[in-house]
């Protein structure tokens, strides 16, 4: 959740690069920020509550500008309110060591008590502060034993006491400043250049420095110096970690003239779909990526989909697609629930995790559990080199490019497109689809690019804006959908909640009369997703039931009869029912965006949220 950056450079100042890295990582957490640099007299720390720009202003005096080694942090608070004292970096009492952390120290209370008994005075409410004092204590102990410990020795010794999850960057002043990073759980990656070395919690912050990136593994402790990165395991044994060439470009993370990342990412969807689909589709089949062989797929008897939030909504669409096209039974679970129940998985189950970031803690843990239970594992993921990509046996990398807006948009359409390709491929491998049928399904997917462009034309966007204006004061919103579009209703409601903070419920349309219908009265807006297909007339009946009770009905889809019945209609081009979620979700994303704007919300950094949920 938090963003971590660190740098040690041969003969250049590090601060500006660290601040630039924090700006890129601000989407990971944005309640406070700080930096520490190594000066000859000790570490110098500056922290501020609020956004990076507040920190940047606090650094205008230039006192920290010349240092060659530093660490930085942008926080999403877990322990202690988001104020200056709790902001990272935290430093030890000698003023020589500073540390930034993403994660949770689960035994921090016990460690805090132990350190207080040893004479340490704490200055924050954070769990993190215990780590820096442990490092200082262990360095002192090792020194007392005459071992002249390096910072890496102290960090390794300290981490033996820490239970929980961490990605940390630690610096120590001295004649040569030392920079060390370690991870257990949340991601950390390193980019070594000729005259420096950079560490960050996200490749995006490393791209301005180089494309060759080393992803640290759990238990790794890395010692960075200009031009070098030495990695050791907890026992001190050296280990080689190969660099991966990252495909993204630094400029992909920019705004490209749009007002918000979310807006830009919604508008990128035609191109994303084109990229994700075109290179994979061949004669009557689809290439998914590494580790998907016909033999493996032929042995799949059941699929267990795992994910969180928007990714699980894509997973629910995947459930319809895999069952409908490949004839393979599918279960879908919130990863956070799956990992704490006692799942019974039949032999031949493929555990399929879906995640934009590939770093969601619950999704990773759920996939690991499925693997322990004997499943083959697969992933649909957007981030090359991420923990999920490294953990799964087979990986389909969606080609959505960096998604910075906290509300996931283009990742969803890419995930659904990926799931569709997987369903067709599985259908072919299982003999459920002939080559001709597979071709027809793939053609339907390929045809979507032009339709997505229509949905994002000025005229179509203006129509959604008009509908948003006329509904901005609604008491609440209900989103209804059925079949393959039921998850789209869930996604529409989630987008609206997170971006505009208004209450919205997503529901399967047929379930409405079992409870939510009690909410319907004048002033309640009901968005009904209905496209041509097997359940269109059923959804139309549900729609009539809403109208009969005075609800305001907005229809999104291609079912003309429903559109004619609506108080307001958002037309979506007609398509095969199976691919319709990819189209229907777009007006719902735009609707959330427009309502958020009308309400003056912070579109790309909605309150309390963070892009990548790397803690439980
Ligand atoms: O990175 P992931 O796809 O694993 O993230 C899962 C969810 O945290 C994410 O989709 C979240 O629900 C988004 N904020 C939704 O817009």
What is the DSSP secondary-structure string of 4-50?
Answer: EEEEEESSS--HHHHHHHHHHHGGG--SEEEEEEEETTEEEEEEEES
Is the same domain home to 439 and 531? Answer: no
- The CATH number for 204's domain is 3.60.20.10
User: Ligand 1 centre from 545 Cα, in Å?
Assistant: 33
Q: Is residue 612 in some structural domain?
A: no
State which H helix or E strand residue 571 sits in: strand 568-571
pLDDT at residue 80, rounded to an integer: 79
pLDDT at residue 593, rounded to an integer: 98
Residue 516: CB atoms within 10 A of its CB come to 16
Is the same domain home to 401 and 470? Answer: no
> Residue whose CA is closest, atom 4 of ligand 1?
355
CB-based contact 98:43 (threshold 8 Å)? yes
CB of 612 closer than 6 angstroms to any ligand 1 atom: yes
Residue 16: CB atoms within 10 A of its CB come to 13
76 or 598: which carries more pLDDT confidence? 598
Question: Cα–Cα distance between 452 and 460 in angstroms, integer?
Answer: 10
Is the same domain home to 392 and 474? Answer: no
Residue 283 pLDDT class (50, 70, 90 cuts): low
CB of 408 closer than 6 angstroms to any ligand 1 atom: yes
pLDDT, mean of residues 202-214 = 94
Residue 2 pLDDT class (50, 70, 90 cuts): confident
37 bridge partner residues: 44, 70
Above 90 in pLDDT, residue 349? yes
Question: Cα–Cα distance between 296 and 235 in angstroms, integer?
Answer: 37
Ligand 1, pocket-test mutation among 365, 408, 494, 607, most atoms within 8 A of CB: 408
Catalytic positions, written as ranges: 2, 611
Question: Cα–Cα distance between 363 and 355 in angstroms, integer?
Answer: 8
Is the same domain home to 386 and 501? Answer: no
Q: Is residue 615 in some structural domain?
A: no
β 349-355/42-49 pair status:
unpaired
Domain-terminating residue out of 251, 266, 301? 251
> Residue whose CA is closest, atom 14 of ligand 1?
407
Is the same domain home to 566 and 513? Answer: yes
Q: Is residue 12 in some structural domain?
A: yes
Residue 615 pLDDT class (50, 70, 90 cuts): confident
Residue 77 pLDDT class (50, 70, 90 cuts): confident
CA 52 vs. chain centroid, Å, equals 20
Q: Which atom of ligand 1 is nearest to the CA of 356?
A: 3
Local structure of residue 137 (DSSP, 8 states): H
Q: Is residue 191 in some structural domain?
A: yes
CB of 363 closer than 6 angstroms to any ligand 1 atom: yes
Is the same domain home to 495 and 369? Answer: no
| CA angle, 272 then 274 then 280, to 5° | 110
Is the same domain home to 31 and 50? Answer: yes
Q: What is the pLDDT of residues 169-207, one digit of tens each?
A: 999 999 999 999 999 999 999 999 999 999 999 999 999
Q: Is residue 173 in some structural domain?
A: yes
Residue 454: CB atoms within 10 A of its CB come to 15
pLDDT, mean of residues 248-267 = 92
If 0-12 CB within 10 Å is exposed, 13-18 middle and 19+ buried, where does residue 510 land?
Answer: middle
> Residue whose CA is closest, atom 12 of ligand 1?
309
Ligand 1, pocket-test mutation among 356, 406, 506, most atoms within 8 A of CB: 356
Give me the chain's average pLDDT, please: 94
Peptide bond just before 89 cis, omega within 30 deg? yes
CB-based contacts of 215, cutoff 8 Å, min separation 6 = 187, 188, 189, 241, 244, 385, 386, 390
Provide the 3-class DSSP secondary structure of residue 256: coil
Residue 378 pLDDT class (50, 70, 90 cuts): very high
pLDDT at residue 339, rounded to an integer: 92
Q: Is residue 610 in some structural domain?
A: no
Peptide bond just before 534 cis, omega within 30 deg? no
Above 80 in pLDDT, residue 610? no
CB-based contact 100:21 (threshold 8 Å)? no
pLDDT at residue 284, rounded to an integer: 65
Above 90 in pLDDT, residue 301? yes
Q: What is the pLDDT of residues 415-471, one digit of tens each?
A: 999 999 999 999 999 999 999 999 999 999 999 999 999 999 999 999 999 999 999
pLDDT at residue 392, rounded to an integer: 95
Q: What is the pLDDT of residues 80-135, one digit of tens each?
A: 788 888 999 999 999 999 999 999 999 999 999 999 999 999 999 999 999 999 99
CB-based contact 379:351 (threshold 8 Å)? no
Domain-terminating residue out of 418, 446, 474? 446
Is the same domain home to 439 and 494? Answer: no
Number of structural domains found in the chain: 3
pLDDT, mean of residues 45-59 = 92
pLDDT, mean of residues 217-237 = 97
Q: Which atom of ligand 1 is nearest to the CA of 406?
A: 14
User: Ligand 1 centre from 356 Cα, in Å?
Assistant: 7
Provide the 3-class DSSP secondary structure of residue 216: coil
Question: Cα–Cα distance between 254 and 269 in angstroms, integer?
Answer: 16
Q: Which residue has the tokens 């493929």?
A: 350
- The CATH number for 264's domain is 3.40.50.10490
Residue 302 pLDDT class (50, 70, 90 cuts): very high
Local structure of residue 179 (DSSP, 8 states): E
User: Ligand 1 centre from 408 Cα, in Å?
Assistant: 6
Domain-terminating residue out of 208, 233, 251? 251
Is the same domain home to 34 and 172? Answer: yes
CB of 498 closer than 6 angstroms to any ligand 1 atom: yes
Report which of 519, 288, 223, 313 is spatially closest to residue 423, judged by C-alpha positions: 288
CB of 44 closer than 6 angstroms to any ligand 1 atom: no
pTM, two decimals, is 0.91
Is the same domain home to 454 and 441? Answer: no
Domain span at residue 13 reads: 3-251
> Percentage of the chain surpassing pLDDT 70?
99
User: Ligand 1 centre from 490 Cα, in Å?
Assistant: 13
Question: Cα–Cα distance between 304 and 392 in angstroms, integer?
Answer: 14
CB of 310 closer than 6 angstroms to any ligand 1 atom: yes
Local structure of residue 88 (DSSP, 8 states): S
pLDDT at residue 286, rounded to an integer: 73
Rounded to 5 degrees, φ, ψ at 555 are: -100, 135
Above 80 in pLDDT, residue 241? yes
Q: Is residue 614 in some structural domain?
A: no
pLDDT at residue 28, rounded to an integer: 74
pLDDT at residue 198, rounded to an integer: 98
Q: Is residue 476 in some structural domain?
A: yes
Is the same domain home to 383 and 322? Answer: yes
Residue 329 pLDDT class (50, 70, 90 cuts): very high
> Residue whose CA is closest, atom 11 of ligand 1?
309
pLDDT at residue 293, rounded to an integer: 87
Is the same domain home to 196 and 209? Answer: yes
């Amino acid at each position: 959740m938090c963003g971590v950056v660190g740098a040690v450079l041969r003969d250049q100042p590090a601060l500006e690069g660290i601040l630039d890295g924090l700006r890129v990582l601000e989407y990971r957490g944005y309640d406070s920020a700080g930096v520490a640099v190594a000066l000859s007299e000790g570490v110098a720390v500056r922290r501020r509550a609020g956004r990076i720009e507040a920190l940047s202003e606090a650094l205008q005096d230039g006192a920290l500008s010349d240092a060659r080694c530093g660490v930085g942090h942008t926080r999403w608070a877990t322990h202690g309110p988001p104020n200056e004292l709790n902001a990272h970096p935290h430093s030890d009492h000698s003023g020589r060591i500073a540390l930034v952390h993403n994660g949770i120290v689960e035994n921090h209370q016990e460690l805090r008590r132990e350190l207080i008994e040893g004479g340490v005075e704490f200055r924050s409410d954070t769990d993190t502060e215990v780590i820096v004092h442990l490092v200082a204590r262990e360095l002192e102990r090792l020194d007392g034993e005459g071992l002249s410990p390096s910072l890496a020795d102290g960090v390794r010794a300290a981490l033996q006491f820490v239970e929980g999850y961490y990605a940390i960057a630690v610096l120590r002043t001295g004649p040569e400043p030392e920079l060390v990073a370690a991870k257990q759980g949340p991601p950390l990656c390193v980019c070594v250049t000729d005259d420096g070395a950079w560490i960050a919690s996200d490749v995006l912050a490393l791209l301005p420095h180089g494309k060759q990136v080393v992803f640290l593994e759990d238990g790794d402790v890395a010692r960075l110096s200009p031009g070098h990165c030495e990695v050791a395991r907890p026992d001190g044994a050296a280990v080689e970690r190969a660099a991966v060439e990252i495909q993204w470009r630094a400029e992909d993370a920019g705004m490209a003239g749009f007002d918000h990342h979310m807006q830009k990412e919604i508008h990128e969807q035609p191109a994303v779909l084109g990229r994700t689909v075109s290179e994979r589709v061949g004669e009557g089949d689809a290439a998914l990526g590494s580790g998907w062989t016909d033999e493996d797929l032929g042995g799949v008897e059941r699929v267990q989909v795992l994910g969180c939030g928007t990714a699980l909504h894509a997973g629910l669409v995947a459930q319809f697609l895999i069952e409908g096209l490949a004839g393979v039974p599918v279960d879908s679970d919130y990863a956070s629930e799956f990992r704490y129940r006692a799942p019974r998985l039949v032999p031949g189950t493929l555990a399929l995790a879906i995640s934009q970031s590939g770093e969601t803690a619950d999704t990773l843990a759920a996939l690991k559990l499925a693997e322990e239970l004997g499943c083959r594992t697969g992933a649909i993921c957007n981030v090359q080199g991420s923990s999920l990509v490294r953990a799964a046996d087979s990986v389909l990398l969606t080609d959505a490019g960096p998604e910075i807006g906290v509300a996931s948009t283009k990742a969803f359409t890419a995930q659904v497109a990926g799931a569709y390709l997987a369903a067709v491929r599985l259908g072919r491998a299982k003999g459920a689809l002939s080559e001709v049928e597979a071709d027809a399904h793939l053609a339907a997917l390929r045809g979507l690019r032009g339709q997505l462009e229509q949905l994002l034309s000025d005229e179509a966007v203006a129509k959604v804006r008009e509908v948003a204006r006329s509904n901005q004061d609604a008491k609440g919103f209900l989103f209804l959908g059925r079949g393959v579009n039921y998850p789209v209703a869930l996604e529409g409601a989630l987008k609206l909640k997170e971006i505009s903070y208004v209450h919205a419920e997503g529901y399967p349309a047929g379930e409405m009369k079992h409870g939510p219908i009690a909410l319907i009265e004048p002033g309640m807006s009901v968005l009904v997703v209905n496209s041509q297909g097997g359940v269109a007339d059923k959804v139309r009946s549900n729609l009539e039931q809403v109208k009969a009770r005075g609800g305001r009905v907005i229809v999104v889809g291609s079912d003309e009869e429903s559109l004619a019945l609506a108080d307001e209609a958002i037309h979506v081009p007609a398509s095969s029912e199976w691919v319709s979620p990819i189209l229907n979700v777009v007006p719902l994303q735009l609707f959330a965006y427009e309502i958020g704007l009308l309400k003056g919300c912070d579109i790309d950094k909605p309150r309390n949220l963070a892009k990548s949920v790397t803690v439980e």
